[in-house]
Amino acid sequence: MPEIHYDGGQQWILNLTLAMMVLGLALDIHPKDFLKVFKAPKAPAIGLAAQFILLPAFTCGLTLLMDLPAGIELGMILVAACPGGALSNFITHLSGGNTALSISITAISSTIAVVMLPINFMFWASLNPVANELLLNINVDGSDIIKSLLMVLAAPLAIGFLMQHFTPKLSKKLHSILKYLSLVALIMFIVIAVAKNYEHFLAQFWLLFAAVLAHNLLAMGTGFAAASVGGLPTADKKAITLEVGMQNSSLAIAIVFTQFNAEYGMALISAFWGTWHIVSGIIFAGACRRYMKLKEEAVV
């Protein structure tokens, strides 16, 4: 199996970039985002259940059906175990969805992912014989993943919450900088990584595209179906569809590079996810806005 070209310095750059993204998210999360869940827990509970229970289970089933290379299947399970990404909040706003609900779910899922991500990943990977064999060969311990999560997820979240409490003005200014700087840094990292490994991406493009397309449709469909079964209003359906459909693949990439030695299939699938879910999210938002416009024109 080919290897991804990377060096140890890239790990620190990626970890720092992801930590900046999480810190930027934390600087924009307020206690009221958590309190809303206690006042109206139904929608967040449905979104979190779809995120941490249904999606990993369905993803495991999908990998068993698709019969893909072990690294790609293991990468899909890892992505499914990740929390939703902060970008989903922006896309939810574009789609006319419940942005407050989206932010609340992102805040909670990012917090509990420190525990839930390694549990989900190790459990569902163990049920896939091919992925589990690769996992055992790499010899990754769940505690190692937790250590990574504490560094790139838990610590930045805690720092962000503390800064909001003690230095609110500085936090507001820093958030406005980090939300753009970290995104640009992440895009640059992915572009450089792809440029160094473009032959691998080209050789596996259609396989990756098919896997990510099917997985992303499954994720968005899971969120929409869960919200529909729960009888939630349209705005909440949009938010949950995007929360479950737009995974924090940046976190998956960081874990792959730091804990899995940039395993070929896992790195490719995580990077492709990070690009495609932006495209699918924008398409979804555009379709929603178009539908709302047609509906308004029909009423007139």
Instruction: Return the CATH number at 77.
Output: 1.20.1530.20
**Does pLDDT of 224 surpass 90?**
yes
**Structural domain includes residue 186:** yes
Specify which residues 84 forms β-bridges with: 247
Structure tokens at 283: 């398409």
pLDDT at 162 over 90: no
> Which residue(s) pair with 247 in the sheet?
84
Q: Which pLDDT does position 7 carry in this prediction?
A: 54
pLDDT digit string, tens, across residues 282-296: 899 999 988 887 777
Q: Give 10 or 134, the one with higher predicted confidence.
A: 134
Domain of 207 in residue numbering reads as: 8-299
Give the span between the Cα atoms of 108 and 44, in whole angstroms. 9
Q: Is residue 17 part of a domain?
A: yes
Calculate what percentage of the chain has a pLDDT beyond 70: 82
Say if 291 falls within a structural domain: yes
Q: Is residue 206 part of a domain?
A: yes
Residue 14 has pLDDT above 60, yes or no: yes
Count: domains in the chain: 1
Q: What is the pLDDT of residue 164?
A: 81
Assess if residue 3 is contained within a domain: no
pLDDT at 196: 66
How many C-beta neighbours within 10 Å does residue 74 have?
30
| Runs of H (alpha helix) within the chain | 8-26, 31-39, 42-49, 55-66, 70-81, 87-95, 99-126, 129-138, 142-149, 155-166, 168-196, 198-203, 205-229, 234-245, 249-259, 264-299
Burial of 151: CB neighbours in 10 Å, binned 0-12, 13-18, 19+:
middle
Q: In whole numbers, what is the pLDDT of the chain averaged over residues?
A: 82
Neighbours of 75 (CB within 10 A): 34
**What is the predicted pLDDT for the residue at 274?**
80
Q: What is the pTM of this model?
A: 0.83
As a whole number of angstroms, the distance between CA 143 and CA 115 comes to: 10
Mean pLDDT of 249-257: 82
CA pair distance 232, 48, nearest whole angstrom: 14
pLDDT on residue 54:
97
Please state whether 3 falls in left (phi above 0), alpha (psi between -120 and 50) or beta.
Answer: beta
